[in-house]
Chains A and B, each alone.
Chain A
Amino acid sequence: MLKVENLTKTYRSGGRELTVLSDVSFELQAGDTFAIVGPSGSGKTTLLGLCAGLDRASRGSVWLSGIRLDELSEDERAAVRNEHVGFIFQNFQLLPTLTALENVLVPLELRGVRGGAKTALALLERVGLGGRGHHYPAQLSGGEQQRVSLARAFANEPRILFADEPTGNLDADTSERVVELLFALNREAGTTLVLVTHDLELAARTGRVVRLRGGALVSDSLTEAAAAPPR
């Protein structure tokens, strides 16, 4: 489902070469859940961005659903994202001028799906916001916004979901609800999940955890969750 080979990312900064990710490799199968952990600046977000095709690596390659991303142009990668990828962001990233329903609709509309409103509404109901479809993001609480963003992430039935600190901006109670929903939806759809987090507890709910430090992969282990059969 996702294959990362010798991935390296360097930036030029003030005439010096700065390596933020060096020689990272791993492979995920369809349906896997996977967490990337590490301290701030360890390259977690960079790795996520590269895996999702949001950025281009300096060296190495990424295969997503068998498509080699580093050979595609930005617009071709956008099409791949729309087809195969869902996103959850730390700061939700809902479009402020669109209602909750419209936000969920966008990925469907981008695919040219007709009659997507029904699907979108069903998803909103699934995350418990069926009655809030006409509200704008500013009228929703943080947890509600993140739930809309969950509905949006699953709207195009992605084969892989990337979540960047999905609970980073939420309080403990709200976090718990969002995480429950995230994993439940993920199980229902059989989606591959890639999660970036500081939160080791959250990471432990995935099947596999890699640890980054200074841009390098320092450990890669299966968790207890991996042993447990899916509920």
Chain B
Amino acid sequence: MSAAPQTRPGLGWLLRMAWRDSRRSRGRLLLFLSAIVLGIAALVAINGFGDNLARSIDEQARELVGADLVLSAPQPFTAPLSPALGRRVRARSEEVAFASLVQFPRGEGVRLAQVRALTGGFPYYGDWLVEPREAVAAFRRAGSEQRLALVDDALLLQFNARVGDSIKVGRLRFLIAGRVTKTPGQSGLNAALAPTVFIPRSWLAATGLQQRGSRLQYRQYFQLSAGTPVDRLLRPLQSRLDEAGIDADTVSDRQRQTGRAFGDLTRFLSLVAFVALLLGCVGVASAVNLYVRDKIAAVAVLRCLGASGRQALLIYLLQTAVMGLLGAALGAALGTGLQWLLPRLLADFLPVGIRITVSWPAVLQGLLSGLLVAVLFALLPLLAIRRVSPLRTLRGPVEEEGRRAPDPLWLGVYGLIGLLLLGFAYWQTREIKLALGFVGGLLLAFGALAGLAAALRYLVRRHLPTGGSFVLRQGLANLYRPNNQTITLTVAVGLGVLLLAVLFLLQGLLLGRVELAGGGRQPNLVLFDIQPGQRAGVQALLREQRLPVLQQVPVVTMRLQAINHRPASFYQQDSSRGVPRWAFRREYRVTYRNTLISSEKLAAGRPPTLEADGRPRISLEEGFFRRLKLQLGDTLTFNVQGLPLETIVSGTRTVDWTRVQTNFIVLFPAGVLEPAPQFYVLMSRVPDNAALGAVQRALVQRFPNVSAIDLALILRTVDDILDRIAVVIRFMAFFSMGTGLLVLASAVVVSRYQRARESVLLRTLGAARRQVLLITLVEYAVLGWLAALTGLLLAGVAGWALAYWVFEVPFRPDPLPLLALALTTTLLTVIIGLLNSRAVLTRPPLEVLRSEAV
């Protein structure tokens, strides 16, 4: 009858069969593959956002800096750099920046602000958003004619001040000419911590704030002619700059730094997204497992008709691959849409405006990840298809003869999954240790959840009460009966709870750490920049206000000039010595005493002493000592405001940075630095805001250069920042929770096909609808509760480990919200379970039996 040429059927036939076979189960296939949609969406959103952010940073780096080159130093520039840059300099601005209390005379409000005394046309690039717009031009023109100030929006809001009011900086009053909403190079976060007041440079001296020993930062901003190779021009000057303690910041430097910082952020977030994807994969594996059981009869027929095991497997693998691709495409579309949301969530942290476009690499990566994980995880149950015996057509489901050896391909698939996980984690973190930790942690969590579920199943089977309520017994028995979903549901729900709870605990730990610093009898007011001559006066002022002096410490600023007589340039050329560049660039604030205080502990060597040879023996903070790869006995040469001072490292100490103390990295002995320019820091504790206001006003009146930091305000700001970070992290965690719920829903729906018969049979045998519902309720309540509790338990362990090892704070979680989380999860599980069985219950038994029969 057949005449055409005969070849073994190829891909075309497999695709056709996959299509035909899916006819009656497309809804189901789509449902369980929807489990990967949210994971892919999260992944694509984060990676696409990361791409857009990186591109925006590259495009806007010049706007970020506001100039082509910024030089900064803690002292006035002695030799100008301009000749080296020659005619390329098109414009130059100068700035002196420092922290100072500022006062709004109208409402008598006082607050610490960042004062920037500026001259010239900075910023040259980017938008300096000032209202009204003319204020910028007026401010630049003002010079020594007019006392104009531009003030941060946040500051004006806090004190209810307006443009046209005045602000007092040091001894002078300035007219507020404009409200600054954005300054190039300053993020919203920056402004919240230290709101800025711009004043013309020419008025700085008259404010009385520019004194010897004050902590001033000098900056020069350069606009260079287009195409100037700044980095190349700077290279030969680098050692001169280092010696002079001048820091040079170029557009490409900023590109690198900003890019790196935000790269870390997006990589961290994409790991969170990946967890959501993995959770979805577990759902896929378990749903495909049940799906395969449904298909075994059809596979046996195909085998009878002469299909090979490979062909049968490929038919179903193609189905899952296509669905995986569909799920991934849906996820990628959703993720691309979500990208528009992320910049809003992250707005406070972002240094640049983001132009969102579709990131094709992220989309492609999402599609590939979706396809790969769907296929790999579906393969685990699908491999069984290869071994379906055609004999089933004659005998029906018979027990396979004896026990078969484990399928070697199965181990191969597990290996591939492991490699995929590790590869992904490494690709995201670029650190093999972190990647291993991530995968290890995941395996541990999965293992613990699955192990506990298996143990529960075993215990219920062994110890199911023979008497007692029928409903209770049936509900519990459902946990171990064939086709039970105990392990899948526990893993899916438990992992979601684990993630949410860990994030909650983490936030608590961070806040706890901050609160620890602010609580009890700890100081909450820090006065600094007190000149030696003002010390007695400030102490008297505090006494008048009935405030205690809890601590007073002298501070000398200096720079590191050489290690073992070798200058910075030596270590830069020989990077193998591992001395980081910042060691020579940063400013060191140093105090002097011969003993350690309560927040310090001797780690090695001895406390600082002044030896007979006149070379001071100093003590370093332990972590700093290690990062610079120093040895006890090494020589450090400091530049103390122009004068070199040779010291020997004689000891290290650990410092508890969480204590509100004046803590220092470098500690000198007494008897060396006393003649050096210095200022004092004084700590006190104010009982309330009224007392704080009073002392701040008195300070501004009598000692305008002295700054006061209100720690309560700082704590509130940090709290606020942490809240905003928490929103972002929670946003990501909800993908996992959402996926967990989807997996839950799909697992429950798939098991309906298995359970419908039982429920209907029970009803046929006379069980009331209520009883069938209660059986379902018992089953899902136990599952949900167990999963939630296990998740919490694991989160508790993780939280404790973080508290103990990372944050070094006591672990005291608030149990109520956690309990609420567990209860909500259980409730959701039960609701999904009940909703699903409702469909079976509301239809007459016969109809269900017919439609479920194949």
Contact = CB atoms under 8 A, between A and B. Distances in A.
A112 B9 contact: yes
Interface in A4-38: 11-12
Interface string B12-27: 0100110011111100
Interface stretch (A79-87, A170-178, A206-214, A221-229): A79-87
Interface in B363-400: 389-391, 393-395
Given A89-B394, A113-B4, A96 B305 contact: no
B611 interface: no
B303 interface: yes
A116 B7 contact: no
Q: How large is the interface on A (under 10, 10 to 19, 20 to 34, 35 or more residues)?
A: 35 or more
Contact of A157 (B1, B25, B310): B1
Interface string B572-588: 00000000000000000
Interface stretch (A47-55, A59-67, A197-205): A47-55
Contacts of A115: 3-4
B350 to A, nearest CB: 52
Interface in A79-113: 79-83, 85, 87, 89, 93-98, 102, 106-113
Interface in B305-355: 305-311
B729 to A, nearest CB: 45
A78 B307 contact: yes
B401 interface: yes
Contacts of B7: 112
Nearest to A106: B305
Contacts of B304: 52, 54, 81, 87, 93
Contact of B309 (A74, A80, A109): A74
B78 interface: no
Nearest to B851: A138
A156 B4 CA distance: 13
Given A78-B303, A109-B9, A93 B393 contact: yes
Interface centre among B300, B305, B309, B393 (most CB of A within 10 A): B305
Contact of A87 (B13, B23, B305, B307): B305
Contact of A119 (B1, B17, B303): B1
A45 B306 contact: no
A231 interface: no
A181 interface: no
Contacts of B305: 81-82, 87, 106-107, 110, 152
A75 B309 CA distance: 7
Contact of A102 (B20, B300, B310): B20
B6 interface: yes
Interface centre among A55, A75, A95 (most CB of B within 10 A): A95
Contact of B391 (A55, A106, A109): A55
A75 B301 contact: no
Interface residues of B, number: 42
A112 B6 contact: yes
B390 A54 contact: yes
Interface in B276-320: 297-298, 300-311
B660 to A, nearest CB: 71
B854 interface: yes
Given A89-B393, A89-B394, A138-B854, A106 B308 contact: no
B9 A83 contact: no
B4 A97 contact: no
Interface in A145-178: 152, 156-157, 164
A95 B302 contact: yes
A45 B395 contact: yes
A156 B310 CA distance: 21
B244 to A, nearest CB: 80
A78 B306 contact: yes
Nearest to B295: A97
A111 B6 contact: yes
Contacts of A112: 5-10, 13
A106 B315 CA distance: 13
A82 B306 CA distance: 4
B298 A96 contact: yes
B402 interface: yes
A122 interface: yes
A157 B390 contact: no
A79 B308 contact: yes
B689 interface: no
Contact of A75 (B13, B20, B308): B308
A55 to B, nearest CB: 5
Contacts of B297: 93
Contacts of A122: 1
Nearest to A45: B394
Nearest to A94: B301
A77 B401 CA distance: 19
B1 A98 contact: no
B850 to A, nearest CB: 9
A162 B644 CA distance: 103
Nearest to A115: B4
A113 B2 CA distance: 7
A94 B298 CA distance: 8
Interface in A101-145: 102, 106-116, 119, 122-123, 138
A78 B13 CA distance: 17
A119 B393 contact: no
A157 B24 CA distance: 30
Interface string B818-854: 0000000000000000000000000000000000001
Contacts of A107: 305-306
Contacts of B300: 93
Contact of A98 (B10, B20, B306, B309): B20
A89 B297 CA distance: 13
B485 to A, nearest CB: 24
A53 B20 CA distance: 27
A95 B306 contact: no
A95 B2 contact: no
A80 B390 CA distance: 13
A164 B2 CA distance: 26
B391 A81 contact: no
B394 A78 contact: no
Contacts of B10: 112
A95 B17 CA distance: 11
Contacts of A116: 2, 4
Interface string B223-252: 000000000000000000000000000000
A85 to B, nearest CB: 8
B710 to A, nearest CB: 72
A189 to B, nearest CB: 9
Nearest to B401: A11
Given A78-B308, A113-B2, A164 B9 contact: no
Nearest to B308: A75
A106 B302 contact: yes
A96 B854 contact: yes
Contacts of B23: 97
B621 to A, nearest CB: 70
Contacts of A82: 305-307
A108 B20 CA distance: 16
A114 B310 contact: no
A126 to B, nearest CB: 10
B15 to A, nearest CB: 12
Contacts of B1: 119, 122-123, 157
25 contacts: A54-B391, A55-B391, A79-B306, A93-B297, A93-B300, A93-B304, A94-B301, A95-B20, A95-B21, A95-B298, A95-B301, A97-B20, A97-B22, A109-B9, A109-B16, A110-B9, A110-B306, A110-B307, A113-B2, A113-B6, A115-B4, A116-B2, A138-B854, A156-B306, A157-B1
Q: Report, nearest first, the 10 A-B pairs whose CB atoms are least far apart.
A: A82-B306, A114-B4, A112-B7, A75-B308, A54-B390, A81-B306, A113-B2, A96-B854, A54-B391, A97-B23
Given A74-B309, A111-B6, 20 more contacts: A74-B303, A74-B389, A75-B310, A78-B390, A79-B306, A79-B308, A81-B305, A82-B305, A85-B306, A87-B304, A93-B300, A97-B23, A97-B298, A98-B21, A106-B305, A110-B307, A112-B6, A116-B4, A152-B305, A157-B1
